[in-house]
Amino acid sequence: MRWHRRFWIPVLAASALGACEPVHPPPAGYEQTCYGGNYRKTYVDSVTFVTFLVQAPERDWGELSALLTRYGRAQEVEVFDTSLVRDNVHYFGVSLCHDEGLFLYASKQNWVKSDSYDPHPESVNIIVSGYANHDRWRSFAESFAKYLGENWRGSVAVSWQPAPAAPPPSAAK
Protein backbone atom coordinates (compact mmCIF):
# COMPACT_ATOMS: atom_id res chain seq x y z
CA MET A 1 0.00 0.00 0.00
CA ARG A 2 2.88 2.42 0.70
CA TRP A 3 4.31 1.88 -2.79
CA HIS A 4 0.95 2.69 -4.29
CA ARG A 5 0.97 6.12 -2.66
CA ARG A 6 4.50 6.87 -3.95
CA PHE A 7 4.12 5.68 -7.53
CA TRP A 8 4.87 9.19 -8.73
CA ILE A 9 8.47 9.21 -7.41
CA PRO A 10 9.96 7.10 -10.28
CA VAL A 11 7.87 9.07 -12.78
CA LEU A 12 9.16 12.36 -11.39
CA ALA A 13 12.75 11.08 -11.34
CA ALA A 14 12.54 9.86 -14.94
CA SER A 15 11.11 13.15 -16.15
CA ALA A 16 13.77 15.12 -14.25
CA LEU A 17 16.57 13.05 -15.80
CA GLY A 18 15.08 13.49 -19.26
CA ALA A 19 15.02 17.24 -18.74
CA CYS A 20 18.80 17.43 -18.27
CA GLU A 21 19.55 17.81 -21.97
CA PRO A 22 21.21 21.10 -22.98
CA VAL A 23 18.89 23.80 -24.27
CA HIS A 24 21.00 24.11 -27.43
CA PRO A 25 22.72 20.75 -27.96
CA PRO A 26 25.67 20.61 -30.35
CA PRO A 27 24.99 19.60 -33.94
CA ALA A 28 25.22 15.93 -34.87
CA GLY A 29 28.84 14.85 -35.18
CA TYR A 30 30.29 17.88 -33.36
CA GLU A 31 31.51 16.17 -30.21
CA GLN A 32 33.12 13.25 -32.03
CA THR A 33 34.69 15.34 -34.79
CA CYS A 34 35.84 18.35 -32.78
CA TYR A 35 37.27 16.63 -29.72
CA GLY A 36 37.13 12.90 -30.12
CA GLY A 37 33.89 12.45 -28.21
CA ASN A 38 35.34 13.23 -24.78
CA TYR A 39 36.34 16.86 -24.25
CA ARG A 40 37.86 16.38 -20.80
CA LYS A 41 39.98 13.36 -21.79
CA THR A 42 40.98 14.74 -25.18
CA TYR A 43 42.12 18.16 -24.04
CA VAL A 44 44.65 16.75 -21.60
CA ASP A 45 46.92 16.10 -24.60
CA SER A 46 45.84 18.97 -26.83
CA VAL A 47 48.19 21.63 -28.12
CA THR A 48 47.05 25.15 -28.94
CA PHE A 49 49.15 26.32 -31.85
CA VAL A 50 47.91 29.84 -32.36
CA THR A 51 45.27 32.30 -31.23
CA PHE A 52 43.88 35.16 -33.27
CA LEU A 53 42.02 38.26 -32.20
CA VAL A 54 40.11 39.26 -35.33
CA GLN A 55 38.53 42.68 -35.66
CA ALA A 56 34.97 41.67 -36.50
CA PRO A 57 32.09 43.68 -35.09
CA GLU A 58 28.75 41.90 -35.02
CA ARG A 59 27.72 43.35 -38.38
CA ASP A 60 30.68 41.44 -39.96
CA TRP A 61 29.98 38.04 -38.38
CA GLY A 62 28.26 36.71 -41.50
CA GLU A 63 31.28 37.61 -43.61
CA LEU A 64 33.68 35.99 -41.12
CA SER A 65 31.52 32.86 -40.99
CA ALA A 66 31.58 32.64 -44.80
CA LEU A 67 35.37 33.07 -44.86
CA LEU A 68 35.84 30.29 -42.27
CA THR A 69 33.39 28.03 -44.11
CA ARG A 70 35.18 28.50 -47.45
CA TYR A 71 38.53 27.69 -45.88
CA GLY A 72 37.19 24.66 -44.01
CA ARG A 73 35.60 23.19 -47.11
CA ALA A 74 38.73 23.83 -49.20
CA GLN A 75 40.76 21.97 -46.56
CA GLU A 76 38.20 19.14 -46.40
CA VAL A 77 37.43 19.53 -42.71
CA GLU A 78 34.01 19.62 -41.05
CA VAL A 79 32.43 23.05 -40.56
CA PHE A 80 29.99 23.67 -37.71
CA ASP A 81 28.23 27.00 -37.36
CA THR A 82 26.61 27.14 -33.93
CA SER A 83 25.90 30.87 -33.97
CA LEU A 84 22.61 32.05 -32.53
CA VAL A 85 20.75 35.18 -31.57
CA ARG A 86 18.60 35.29 -28.45
CA ASP A 87 17.02 38.10 -26.49
CA ASN A 88 19.89 38.18 -24.00
CA VAL A 89 22.89 37.17 -26.12
CA HIS A 90 24.16 37.30 -29.68
CA TYR A 91 26.62 34.44 -30.11
CA PHE A 92 29.09 33.80 -32.93
CA GLY A 93 30.43 30.26 -33.01
CA VAL A 94 32.12 28.54 -35.93
CA SER A 95 34.28 25.44 -35.60
CA LEU A 96 36.47 23.73 -38.17
CA CYS A 97 37.16 20.17 -37.05
CA HIS A 98 38.59 16.89 -38.16
CA ASP A 99 38.24 13.60 -36.30
CA GLU A 100 41.97 13.02 -36.67
CA GLY A 101 42.70 15.78 -34.17
CA LEU A 102 41.86 19.32 -35.36
CA PHE A 103 39.80 21.82 -33.38
CA LEU A 104 39.57 25.40 -34.67
CA TYR A 105 37.09 27.44 -32.67
CA ALA A 106 35.97 30.99 -33.43
CA SER A 107 33.71 32.58 -30.85
CA LYS A 108 32.23 35.77 -29.47
CA GLN A 109 29.37 36.50 -27.10
CA ASN A 110 27.66 39.87 -27.07
CA TRP A 111 25.49 40.04 -23.97
CA VAL A 112 22.57 42.32 -24.75
CA LYS A 113 21.24 43.01 -21.27
CA SER A 114 24.40 42.99 -19.24
CA ASP A 115 27.08 45.39 -18.18
CA SER A 116 29.77 42.70 -18.21
CA TYR A 117 33.25 43.87 -19.12
CA ASP A 118 34.48 42.97 -22.59
CA PRO A 119 38.13 43.92 -23.25
CA HIS A 120 37.67 43.41 -27.01
CA PRO A 121 34.08 44.37 -27.83
CA GLU A 122 34.52 44.43 -31.61
CA SER A 123 36.65 41.30 -31.97
CA VAL A 124 36.24 37.55 -32.37
CA ASN A 125 38.67 35.12 -30.76
CA ILE A 126 39.91 32.16 -32.83
CA ILE A 127 42.03 29.30 -31.50
CA VAL A 128 43.60 26.54 -33.54
CA SER A 129 44.54 23.45 -31.59
CA GLY A 130 45.20 19.79 -32.11
CA TYR A 131 44.28 16.91 -29.86
CA ALA A 132 46.12 14.34 -32.01
CA ASN A 133 48.46 14.38 -35.04
CA HIS A 134 50.02 17.62 -33.83
CA ASP A 135 52.48 18.01 -36.71
CA ARG A 136 49.70 17.74 -39.29
CA TRP A 137 47.54 20.36 -37.59
CA ARG A 138 50.42 22.75 -36.89
CA SER A 139 50.88 23.07 -40.66
CA PHE A 140 47.10 23.60 -40.94
CA ALA A 141 47.41 26.43 -38.40
CA GLU A 142 50.22 28.02 -40.43
CA SER A 143 48.19 27.78 -43.63
CA PHE A 144 45.11 29.22 -41.91
CA ALA A 145 47.12 32.15 -40.52
CA LYS A 146 48.29 33.02 -44.03
CA TYR A 147 44.75 32.67 -45.44
CA LEU A 148 43.22 34.83 -42.73
CA GLY A 149 45.87 37.53 -43.13
CA GLU A 150 45.33 37.66 -46.90
CA ASN A 151 41.53 37.50 -46.91
CA TRP A 152 40.24 39.40 -43.87
CA ARG A 153 39.98 43.15 -44.33
CA GLY A 154 40.07 43.97 -40.60
CA SER A 155 43.02 43.78 -38.28
CA VAL A 156 44.20 40.40 -37.02
CA ALA A 157 46.40 40.03 -33.94
CA VAL A 158 48.27 36.71 -33.93
CA SER A 159 49.81 34.93 -30.96
CA TRP A 160 51.80 31.79 -31.79
CA GLN A 161 52.39 29.31 -29.03
CA PRO A 162 55.80 27.71 -28.85
CA ALA A 163 56.12 24.23 -30.29
CA PRO A 164 56.25 21.57 -27.58
CA ALA A 165 59.77 20.69 -26.58
CA ALA A 166 61.16 17.47 -27.95
CA PRO A 167 61.51 14.74 -25.35
CA PRO A 168 65.08 14.43 -24.02
CA PRO A 169 67.18 11.70 -25.58
CA SER A 170 67.15 8.43 -23.68
CA ALA A 171 70.02 7.91 -21.27
CA ALA A 172 69.95 4.17 -21.98
CA LYS A 173 72.51 2.99 -24.51
Query: Residues 104-118: pLDDT tens digits?
Result: 999 999 988 877 788
Give the whole-angstrom CA distance, residue 102 versus residue 71: 14
| pTM for this model (two decimals) | 0.79
| Residue 38 pLDDT > 70 | yes
| Residue 37 pLDDT > 60 | yes
Give the whole-angstrom CA distance, residue 58 versus residue 63: 10
- Model confidence at 101, in pLDDT bands (50, 70, 90)? very high
Higher pLDDT, 74 or 24: 74
Section 22-45 average pLDDT? 81
pLDDT at site 22: 56
- Model confidence at 165, in pLDDT bands (50, 70, 90)? low
Which of 31-40, 52-61, 68-77, 160-169 shows the lowest per-residue confidence on average (mean pLDDT)? Answer: 160-169
Query: Residues 76-94: pLDDT tens digits?
Result: 999 999 999 998 899 999 9
**CB-side exposure of 158: number of CA atoms within 13 Å?**
14
Higher pLDDT, 155 or 15: 155
Are 38 and 132 in contact by the 8 Å Cβ rule? The answer is no
Could you give all domains of the chain from N- to C-terminal order, each with its CATH number? Answer: 41-160 (3.30.310)
**Dihedral pair phi/psi, residue 17, rounded to 5°:** -65, -35
pLDDT at site 163: 64
Section 144-150 average pLDDT? 97
Section 64-76 average pLDDT? 98
Are 98 and 108 in contact by the 8 Å Cβ rule? The answer is no
> What count of residues does the chain have?
173
